[in-house]
Amino acid sequence: MPATSITSLRAAPCELIIDTDPGADDLVALLLAMASPDELSIRAITTVAGNVHLAKTSRNARLACEWGGREDIPVYAGAARPLVRAPVHAAELHGEEGLSGVTVHEPAKPLSQGNAVQYLIDTLGAAEPHSITLAMLGPQTNLALALIQRPEIAKGIKDVVVMGGAHFNGGNITPTAEFNIYADPHAAEVVLASGVRLTYLSLDLTHTLLTSDARLRQLAAIHNRASQVVVDILNAYIKHDMDVYGMPGGPVHDASVIAYLVKPELFSGRRVHLVVDSREGATFGQTIADWYGVLKRPANVMWVSQGDAQGLFDLLSERLARLR
Ligand code: BDR
Ligand code: CA
């Protein structure tokens, strides 16, 4: 069974909430989303502890609004720790401040009043059926907490597009697990069990969508603040993965989720049955995708397996050029 290509017939911009733990690649994703208002109407950004502590991910999300010229987007802080497991962070990859390669400051834009989990409950609860898409760029703790408290809010959700998981080529935080799922596998299980429509962009995909010198030059040639921020962040961020995996460039994981929402025709995948392993042990946080359908269980996610790398960087360049 070949992977199927993904197309969209878009009438109006996608109503979007971005749940995120910025994070170097999250920051790139946020700028790409902010630069794509024809396709994405960003209702809010909700933050979660992940790559670094919540206070820093929340500050970095507000910095993204400043750098993207979108201080009108509300930012709500959410869960400061995972549902069950001990907190785990990735400062060695993203820097102590969560944004390698750039100098951070306290943005003028404040956090919005109220908690991200309550925001999700209120917004999804009041939404038209299947009207709101969530881009999940970090551990899925906020959405899981909302679904645990009010399971019926699932009906307001159109699609949950997750950066997370790894199947064919192993993990990036353990040999079997990808960071976002490992950082809160119980939350990923709650979301999976809720019955919402789910799309997964895993390391299988993001480790094929790599920077190169030419692609970084392409971004640098835009010569605006947003592109400079992205180039500075990426130059610092990609080193670790290039060293560890021996790859010719670095992945920009979370930006793939936004590219998928803006231009799904760049991607292809297959609907599969997915299981998340939350048992203690060597496979804690692993995602098992039944790619060949051997279990004959109903598919519960779209597993996006292939993408057009140059198409992604062309999209990023074209969109960043629209910012200041
Ligand atoms: C994911 O983990 C985080 O470190 C990145 O921001 C991305 O969301 C990649 O495994
Ligand atoms: Ca992230």
Return averaged pLDDT per consecutive 10 residues of the chain, 324 residues in all: 67 95 98 98 98 98 98 98 98 95 98 98 98 98 99 98 97 98 98 98 98 98 97 97 95 98 98 98 98 98 98 98 96
Is 90:124 a contact under the CB 8 Å cutoff?
no
Is 167:204 a contact under the CB 8 Å cutoff?
yes
Is 57:49 a contact under the CB 8 Å cutoff?
yes
Integer Cα distance of 36 and 20 in angstroms: 18
Nearest to 26, CA basis, from 165, 234, 214, 244: 234
> Which residue matches tokens 């003028």?
108
**At what angle are helices 253-262 and 24-34 packed, to 10 degrees?**
20
Ligand 1 pocket at CB < 6 A: 23, 25-26, 51, 90, 93, 137-138, 163, 172, 178-180, 253-254
For ligand 1, pick from 163, 176, 237 the residue to mutate: most ligand atoms within 8 Å of CB.
Answer: 163
For ligand 1, pick from 19, 21, 28, 209 the residue to mutate: most ligand atoms within 8 Å of CB.
Answer: 21
Asked about 167 being catalytic, the answer comes back as no
Integer Cα distance of 41 and 123 in angstroms: 14
Closest atom of ligand 1 to CA, residue 137: 8
Integer Cα distance of 60 and 67 in angstroms: 10
Integer Cα distance of 299 and 166 in angstroms: 17
Is the entire prediction scored with pTM above 0.85?
yes
194 C-alpha vs ligand 2 centroid, how far in Å? 22
pLDDT for the residue 7? 72
pLDDT for the residue 4? 74
DSSP letter at 110?
P
